[in-house]
Structure 1
Amino acid sequence: MINKYYKRSKISEAKFRRLIRYFSMDLTATDAAELTGISRRSVTDIYGRLRHKIARWS
């Protein structure tokens, strides 16, 4: 399934939404990576992009 939230992503929408939920719960990238099965490096990159978007909106 195509991920409409993250272009050119190999991560499914369901995993991405779960990752957003973990981000909002203030879980570390390492913990979120373990829970979703996504690499820590990918989670760190996505967390950084989320922080950047939030900062831009503020």
Structure 2
Amino acid sequence: MSANSPKTCIYPGCERPAVPPHQLGGPQPSFCDLDEHNALTAHQERQRLANESSPGAPEGDR
């Protein structure tokens, strides 16, 4: 990734730009400004998508 290309939200299916880094420093966040796009919901969405792509897998199998 070059310095000119904006970072994209890592939530599955999201194409929005990630929130810019804080003005006082630190790393750039990985998610956009939508409250529901966070590490927990991204993990849950990846699990849901994996279960959908696995035909024949029971829904409550864990």
Q: Flag whether TM exceeds 0.5 (same fold).
A: no
Q: Give the TM-score category using the shorter length.
A: 0.3 to 0.5
TM-score normalised according to structure 1 size: 0.37
Q: Which has the higher contact order (CA 8 A, sep 6+)?
A: 2
Q: Highest CA radius of gyration, 1 or 2? A: 2
